Amino acid sequence: MAENVIQISGLTKKYGEFTAVDHLDLSVEKGEIFGLLGPNGAGKSTTILMILGLTEPDEGTVRVSGIDSISKPVEVKKIVGYLPEDVGFYDRYSGLENLAFTGRLNGMTETEAIKKAKLLLKRVGLEENSEKKTGNYSRGMRQRLGLADVLIKDPEVIILDEPILGLDPYGVKEFLEMIAGLSREEGITVLFSSHHLYQVQQVCDRVGLFVRGKLLADGDINTLSRKLFGSSPYLVEVGIPVQVAGDPDKLKNMTRVLLDVEGVLTVEEKDNKLYVECSHEVTADISRAIVRSGFELIYLNKREYGLDDIYYRYFEGGADHE
């Protein structure tokens, strides 16, 4: 059992009648990258604010490295680096000066802060722009400077709120690699929120799905899909050959053939394709069965459930609950 760096229990925040965060329980282990996923307005930012002690919850507790965020926010902020959504800097100062200011706020002397800021600027690839005023920085540069700003206090945990919003695809990749590298090399725990599913999938050890203030499920992607899709985590698409397409009898035959394969659970026709749900990997068996029974095999595609499917599945489910 690894040590839990962030421990949230029973956290609730209400704005009037509206419940932004509803009895949330969540724990993040040391050194892992946790992605908080959810649509806009799901309560991700509110949760982050409460972890930092910037907003008081109505109920529940938050502990970061064992320190209570509500009663000792300053202690928590010493070990947590936070990159807000759409971070801003003092435009009239250079990147270096902005970083050094943050460093000094964290108890460094000016000399130390400047030295450290230079190192970090190099690390995030802004070395050449360090003397440039941040007012002239591009969005991607600002975000990288934001990361350096978070790192200058040597945090144990970094929390990023929508860090990749508004970055170009290359920028996103670069930024996420930087985060993943940090977590691996220095053992920093990372929590970030996003609604960009693919990108999150690439770097996160674990994700939590967040809808209407509730954590619907959490775990790594495989666990999540197993949880969500129950005993049928595999999906195979089978193209319907022309000879079968117009003929309901033949289609029924083909469906029966597929159902006879061991491990196939359901077969469904949609958009001129058959969707076959299976309990384990049986793609090869399916192709063999099709060919053996005399049908033409024109198209076979093994699909793995990604975050997208998980996400959509949840929204379908979420709609049912209403």
Partner 1 sequence: MIFITGILREERIMNNAVNKVQGSAGMKKIGWRRVFAGTRVLKPNKERINSPFRVILEKEIADQVRSWRFIVLIAIIALTTLGSLYTALNNISTAIKPDDPTGSFIFLKLFTITDGTLPSFIVFVSFLGPLLGIGLGFDAVNSEQNGGTLSRLLAQPIHRDYIINAKFLAALTVISVMFFSLVFLVMGIGIIATGIPPTPEEFVRIVFFTLLTIVYVAFWLNMSIWFSVRFRQPATSALMGISIWIFFTVFYPLIINLVIKAINNPAYHGNPDYQVFLEKLRLGLMRFAPNVLFSEATSTLMMPSVRSLGPLTMEQMLGAIPGPLPLGQSILLIWPEVTALTAATVLCFVLAYVPFMRREIRSR
Task: List residues binding partner 1 (CB under 8 A).
Answer: 45, 49, 52, 54-55, 74-75, 77-78, 80-92, 101-102, 104-111, 146, 149, 153, 161
- Closest contact distance (angstroms) between CB of 257 and partner 1 is 57
Rg, C-alpha atoms of the chain: 25
Whichever of 94 and 225 has its CB closer to partner 1, that residue is 94
Whichever of 155 and 208 has its CB closer to partner 1, that residue is 155
Whichever of 127 and 309 has its CB closer to partner 1, that residue is 127
- Closest contact distance (angstroms) between CB of 203 and partner 1 is 22
- Cross-strand pairs, 26: 8
- Closest contact distance (angstroms) between CB of 302 and partner 1 is 42
- Closest contact distance (angstroms) between CB of 264 and partner 1 is 49
Beta strand 4-15 with 157-161 is: unpaired
- Closest contact distance (angstroms) between CB of 25 and partner 1 is 23
Q: Strands, DSSP E only, in 115-224? A: 157-161, 189-194, 206-211, 214-219
Q: How far apart are CA 202 and CA 288, in angstroms?
A: 33
Q: Which two tokens stand for residue 65?
A: 């490295």
Q: How far apart are CA 52 and CA 63, in angstroms?
A: 10
Please name the amino acid found at residue 97: E
- Cross-strand pairs, 28: 6
- Closest contact distance (angstroms) between CB of 97 and partner 1 is 9
Please name the amino acid found at residue 313: R
Whichever of 95 and 146 has its CB closer to partner 1, that residue is 146
Q: Is 111 exposed, middle or buried (0-12, 13-18, 19+ CB in 10 A)?
A: exposed
Residues 159, 2: contact at Cβ < 8 Å? no
- Closest contact distance (angstroms) between CB of 163 and partner 1 is 12
With tokens 């699909």, the residue in question is: 303
Whichever of 43 and 233 has its CB closer to partner 1, that residue is 43
Whichever of 79 and 197 has its CB closer to partner 1, that residue is 79
- Cross-strand pairs, 24: 11
Count of other CB atoms within 10 angstroms of residue 259:
13
Whichever of 104 and 226 has its CB closer to partner 1, that residue is 104
Whichever of 63 and 153 has its CB closer to partner 1, that residue is 153
Number of residues in the chain? 322
- Cross-strand pairs, 6: 28, 64
Residues 207, 34: contact at Cβ < 8 Å? yes
- Closest contact distance (angstroms) between CB of 108 and partner 1 is 7
